[in-house]
Chains A and B, each alone.
Chain A
Amino acid sequence: EAAVTQSPRSKVAVTGGKVTLSCHQTNNHDYMYWYRQDTGHGLRLIHYSYVADSTEKGDIPDGYKASRPSQENFSLILELASLSQTAVYFCASNDRGDTLYFGAGTRLSVL
């Protein structure tokens, strides 16, 4: 079964600190994504990648960086965390145009 694992599941960070969210997939999918979920906004795409060592900007990339060191791993980096980045973050993977498989999410609170 397709599997996307996110770590940590929850995190509390301080404003201005660096935060790294990690994602690992065992689906052998080329595409990986980071989404942000906020009440009333649904799921918004932050960054995505279709091949290792390459990332692309999504709809709301400001304040976020991404890293894809291998096909299986995709990280989301907040260099200077801000209060407005408090949200639930989801990683997902798929093959182009196919069903998205999501991880269980990371709940990030920035204080």
Chain B
Amino acid sequence: QQQVRQSSQSLTVWEGETAILNCSYENSAFDYFPWYQQFPGEGPALLIAIRSVSDKKEDGRFTIFFNKREKNLSLHIKDSQPGDSATYFCAASASSGSWQLIFGSGTQLTVMP
């Protein structure tokens, strides 16, 4: 049973478009949702994160939209650049109880020039 699910294994967009990466979760206790970005040959690195008390978090071209009722969230990458081509992992954890991060399977984003 996958607690954090990313609906697309891969996504291709053109340079300048908005890339939308989707994520859903099952555990209502999850209250922290980071997105990690991984380039080939490197380890993942934190890109942006949101807590369940918010429905939106913005950082430059990256925005997380969060829907607590539907148990889903999405990462929007505005004005996508070829340098954004990477694998993006959605993750979740609960600040009470087991606080370990649970990762989704990742979405490989390709931005075509």
Contacts and interface: CB of A to CB of B under 8 A. Distances in A.
Contact of B105 (A41, A48, A58): A41
A97 B105 contact: no
B89 A102 contact: no
B105 A99 contact: no
Given A97-B93, A97-B95, A99-B34, A43 B44 contact: yes
A102 B42 CA distance: 9
Interface residues of B, number: 22
Interface in B42-89: 42-46, 49, 89
A96 B99 contact: yes
Interface residues of A, number: 19
Interface of A: 4, 40-45, 48, 58, 90, 92, 96-97, 99-100, 102-105
19 contacts: A4-B43, A40-B9, A42-B89, A42-B106, A43-B103, A44-B103, A58-B100, A90-B43, A90-B44, A97-B32, A97-B93, A97-B95, A97-B99, A99-B46, A99-B49, A102-B44, A104-B41, A104-B42, A105-B43
